[in-house]
A and B are shown apart, each in its own frame.
Chain A
Amino acid sequence: MNWQAFFAMGGYAFYVWTAYGITFLVLALNVVIPMVQRRQFLRHLAMKQKRQRL
């Protein structure tokens, strides 16, 4: 397996790898963002509950 030839994609490296890069960036963001939002919201809820108990 020739890695250099593989990454060159027959001269279309820029187009192919940019397409794959953007795809997985968007897919990753669409999963990570709601997970971060949920963690933040849970922390916010916990704080609120703590305050109510005091």
Chain B
Amino acid sequence: MKAKITFGIWEAIMMLLNTICVPLLLGFPRLMIETGGTAGWIIPIYITVLAVLFFTVIQRLYRNFEGKDIIDIAEIALGRIGRIVTGILLMLYIVFLVTITLREFTEDMKVIALINSPISFVMMFFIAAMVFGCYFGIEPLVRFSSVIVPIIALGFLFIVFGVAGNYDINHLFPILGNGPRAIFIDGFFLVSYFSPLVLLYLIAPFVRTHKIMKITGYTTILLSSIFFTLGTLCYLLVYPYPISIENFLPIYQLARVMEYGRFFQRIESVFVLIWAASAMSMLSIGFYFVVYIFRKTFELDYRRPMIWSFIIIIFTLSLFPPNLMTVLELDKMYYSKVTWIISLCYPILILLIARLRSRNPEKEAKTR
């Protein structure tokens, strides 16, 4: 038998943090501000509260299923059909996530660094990273995440605090922005940004105990919330409301205005390193899980032979949208508005059914 994969709490947190926070480097702050206006920075806090609520429900329900991932639980709940349906649903979600992110980051790189290169050329670098990452498996990926994510986080903090000279606190007023309705009702759907949390239910067997899973979940939500809020807030402090929704890459725009004396100007290119590292980390982890779920759902023995077929699918899919605007629209319409149903509601449903189904044996086990 192959050695079991396990990793520690720090690795799990770093992996999830990176996966959740990747939209921050893309359009997240812009979308917050589009929704909330000058109160855009409140929405990350609000959706954090929502995510914590969702997660509390899920982890409570999860208590009885320590060490099982969501696909196993679906089998307990709905049998083989449930397992396959859940697997496919999750896989589709992650394929969508990876595809959109891959395309956005490629476009991002093309816009900020490699203007004349064909898109497939730029994408090839991400594809290479994904294939390598997936080939080597989840363990090296999370280990590498635990090294690289703190560095990415530091770089991010360097950007948001490095532009402190341009902060203007007045940009936050009027304090309620587009009004409470926009913040709390339109903002509700933005809880989808926490949907990569679904990976936590997949790595449940790797982190072993329910307690670790619980700590990992809460810490990840809170940490990503801090970064989300900080990113949006600082972006809003530098770019006042109407202009802040113009930019395709908000955090990049922050990096652009950074200037220290005559020598340290235009250091935004350095952050290409951070962006690409974050994206590659996230994409290869996402891609690994696509293949992993497929293997798990259909109970296959090997994962590696599928890498090529899936990478070709994802590569093709991500080149499908005709232009960047379509991608952004897709992102806005589906990724950031709808995915919460799959990642936050669907697990609750599965867990509830599984719990009802397995209630009796559980009780027996307890009384014994």
A and B interact physically? no
Instruction: List chain B positions with a Cβ less than 8 A from chain A.
Output: none
